[in-house]
Amino acid sequence: MVKILPRDVLRGRPTMATTDVDEAHAKIAELFCSHELAPRTRTSSVDMKLRSLHRGDVGIEFLDYGADVRIDPEGLQDFHLVQIPLAGHASMQVGASTVESSPRMATVPPIDRPFSMSWDGGSPHLIVYVRRTALERVAEQLYGESAVDLGYGMDLSGAAGRAFLRSVVELHDDLIGQPQSTAPAFVQGLLADSMVSRLLMAMQPPSGELRNAEAEGRLVRECRELLERHATEELTVPDIAECLGVSVRTLQTALRAETGATPSDLLRTIRLDRAREMLLEASPREQTVTTVAELCGFTHQGRFSALYLKTFGELPSESLRR
């Protein structure tokens, strides 16, 4: 497992230090988001040390409160965090789910749900920051969908977790500008994208989800049946996953493994097949291409015609005239 020492994180960068809870609260609120910060001991002070460095869509923080504290954020909204204790213990509560965090298990707070955290004294953290738009862009490249359900914990002891840590170290070394790792702008972008890719691949799926081949096959069948029933409705990938009772990532992985397609690809194929059946059965005197397209969930006539031609080798109007 990659070993990261607290003293090495952003070494040489200015350290903001304070023992005042209000000052610590104000600084973290400025850097991340509104939250409540409260010591969990009789003393009303902390011994916070903070170093921070951002570049573009990514950043790295070193944060040590130096005391037992409870943190209740209002919500992250437009960025993701991976919080890695370099020593000690912390925990995160999201609804009924709890992630116990240590140097072998990072926490990944949700961006759209309330959560609370408890950090023990002696648990300095390395925090990886990724802007939401950057993660969605890389997810689109990896999975064909920008919507992802990350889960709340990342196992850092497995192969994927270790690969993520190595990518963080590479990005960290480039951020602080060590001579041997200083790189042109396009290489810096590659390092950032590589780290985000490793983050996505290392995420621990929400517990309790089906993972074996038989279960994945059943999930794909249920997905097909759901899309067949609701093909004409405005469906999003999170809607589909919620109806099936799984995360977006689990659905994407199962479909890609069995069909090589994304949920959006499968929905589009079902809609096109339905449109072709209707066009071949309809009379040009009683039906129009536009009406059929709309009945099958296509709102953009030009895009529908282009997809239809690419899929079936003829225009919708030619199918209607048969």
Task: Examine residue 1 and state whether it is found in any structural domain, yes or no.
Answer: no
Residues of the domain holding 105: 6-202
DSSP code of 231? T
Residue 183 has a pLDDT of 55
179-225 tens-digit pLDDT: 444 556 666 788 899 999 999 988 855 444 444 556 667 888 889 89
Question: Do 152 and 278 belong to one domain?
Answer: no
Q: What is the pTM of this model?
A: 0.68
Task: Examine residue 108 and state whether it is found in any structural domain, yes or no.
Answer: yes
Question: Do 51 and 186 belong to one domain?
Answer: yes
70-86 tens-digit pLDDT: 999 987 889 999 999 99
Task: Examine residue 79 and state whether it is found in any structural domain, yes or no.
Answer: yes
Question: Do 224 and 321 belong to one domain?
Answer: yes
Question: Do 86 and 130 belong to one domain?
Answer: yes
Taking CB atoms within 8 Å and a gap of at least 24, the contacts of 94-103 are 94/152, 97/152, 97/206, 97/207, 99/152, 99/153, 101/153, 103/1, 103/156
Residues of the chain with pLDDT under 50: 179-181, 206-211
Q: Is the dihedral of CA 198, 200, 206, 209 positive or negative?
A: negative
Domain count, the chain: 2
Residue 149 has a pLDDT of 74
